[in-house]
Amino acid sequence: MSGYNPYDNVVATIDRAAKILGYEQSDYESLKHPERELRVSVPVRMDDGSVKVFDGYRVQHSTVRGPAKGGIRFHHAVDNNEVKALAAWMTFKCAVVGIPYGGGKGGVVCDPTKLSQNEKRGIARRYTAMIAPIIGPESDIPAPDVGTNAEVMGWIMDTYSMIKGHCVPGVVTGKPIAIGGAKGRAEATGRGVMITAVNTCKALGKDIKGMSVAVQGMGNVGSISALLIEQQGAKIVAVSDVSGGVYNKNGLNIKEIVTFLDSGKKLLKDYQGDVERISNDEILLLDVDILVPAALENQINAGNAEKIKAKIIVEGANGPTTVEADEILDKKGVVVVPDILANAGGVVVSYFEWVQNIQSLYWDEEMVNTRLKAILDDSFNAVWSIAKENKVNTRTGAYLIAVQRVVEATKLRGIWP
Ligand code: NAD
């Protein structure tokens, strides 16, 4: 992401919230600095016999409210600033939904689409061994993110357990259910996006039924968001992935598209249906009621924000909107539901998974989904109210709650020694 530092976005957002909360610089200075950053070199034997060394990171932004928590990304554009920003967003995400975690994030610079299964496993295992000194169920708990999934989490759990000499399911969440994963975790982030989209419409006095929706990114978050939002009676008119997008003004067949994408390493450009082709730039500018960016950071920026026609943006991805774009959208009256609230469903169910692992007591899916909805409904209502009270946008409202909770915990604990 050349020239753009997402961590600057984070610091600007913290500053804005802290100013409204009337904090002194010393109250929140520590929040601007990640607690711990680890950079690792990950050597892997490739299928052709050569050895390749991949760069990896694990950043713990805050452990003030609990162990660090956050995903691991396998992507060619991973860098330290991106991981720092993602780790900080986790701190505020966990705070805004009131779960007892701080924030962390990790990543390996690689292109998983160009790796064999064997090479991907090699990276996951060696990376886990390299970060093992700082992760664990009581200190830092990874989860899936872009380019990683339940299978990768299983390898991480196994590697860490081999190092410890006993099974440690609580070291990582988003695992396959057969080895301690939570029912409903795979769908949780998209389910949360759907719950938040419905809540936003309600708060605006509207019904999601019949609304037109575009979803950028058809991975874990985007595909489940699209499926579940469609089940609410909305019309998904456009979706995209790294290869481009598809559009049909009368609504796409989302189930068919997701089934197609899931059937092997398929890309949308190869999907043959009753669709028009659009680019990833065009999908963001469609005249729709709801836009769900669910791919990467920095997608909605000063270059395209003015041209956005959606009335509501529900951020499935982390950091899809830059600070400059946020200001432009605000002036245009676009309601942006921020990532730290809109995509928090994943970490909430990760928390449920960790609790179940620690207790060795497993819940059924209905209990997971009911508790998830209760937390997200309460969090949404709290954010919406505080934003209205302070006459600020929803992102600032979410940060008012989150920053206040982290600062309160920091003050209660004190600066040691
Ligand atoms: P994923 O790897 O499953 O899917 C990513 C999707 O984005 C794929 O469809 C890919 O083709 C597409 N994509 C990649 N580059 C793109 C580009 N330049 N333009 C358009 N599309 C592109 O990842 P995911 O887990 O669905 O994560 C997506 C976003 O959601 C990320 O920002 C991630 O941090 C965030 N998130 C994920 C979770 C989770 O539980 N997986 C939780 C919270 C937030």
State pLDDT tens for residues 93-131.
Answer: 999 999 999 999 999 999 999 999 999 999 999 999 999
Give CA–CA dist 391/385, Å, rounded. Answer: 10
Read off the pTM: 0.97
Residues 339, 70: Cα–Cα separation, whole Å: 14
Tell whether ligand 1 has an atom less than 6 A from the beta carbon of residue 107: no
- Do β-strands 235-241 and 140-144 pair in parallel, antiparallel, or remain unpaired? unpaired
| Nearest-atom index, ligand 1, CA of 344 | 43
Is 90 exceeded by the pLDDT of residue 265?
no
Looking at residues 42-52, what average pLDDT do you find?
98
Does ligand 1 have an atom closer than 6 angstroms to the CB of 124?
A: no
HEC string of 156-196? HHHHHHHHHCCCCHHHCCCCCHHHCCCCCHHHHHHHHHHHH
pLDDT at residue number 360: 98
Distance between CA atoms of residues 65 and 151, nearest Å: 29
Distances (CA, A) of 114 to 21, 74, 222: 47, 11, 22
Structure tokens that stand for 375 in this block: 């937390």
Atom of ligand 1 lying closest to residue 295 CA: 7
Q: What is the reported pLDDT for 292?
A: 98
Q: What angle do CA 390, 395, 399 make, to 5 degrees?
A: 75
Please give the number of the atom of ligand 1 that sits closest to the Cα of 188: 40
> Closest ligand 1 atom to the C-alpha of 316?
30
* Mutate which of 189, 261, 279, 348 for ligand 1 pocket (most atoms within 8 A of beta carbon): 189
Ligand 1 pocket, mutate which of 114, 215, 242, 269 (most atoms under 8 A from CB)? 242
C-beta 314 within 6 A of ligand 1: no
Report the distance separating Cα 333 and Cα 287, nearest Å.
15
Find all residues with CB under 8 Å of 183, minimum gap 6, and list them.
Answer: 177, 362, 363, 364, 365, 368
Q: What mean pLDDT do residues 25-49 have?
A: 97
pLDDT tens, residue by residue, 124-178 = 999 999 999 999 999 999 999 999 999 999 999 999 999 999 999 999 999 999 9
Residue 399, exposed/middle/buried by CB under 10 A (0-12, 13-18, 19+)? buried
Distance CA 388, CA 97 (A): 18
CA distance 173 to 141: 7
Catalytic positions are: 105
Instruction: Look at ligand 1, atom 37, and give the residue with the nearest C-alpha.
Output: 145
Ligand 1, atom 27: nearest CA belongs to which residue? 146
- Testing ligand 1's pocket by substitution, the residue of 90, 92, 146 carrying the most ligand atoms inside 8 A of its CB is 146
How far apart (Å, rounded) are the C-alpha atoms in residues 239 and 329?
A: 22
Separation CA 173–CA 171 (nearest Å) = 7
pLDDT at residue 385 in the model: 98
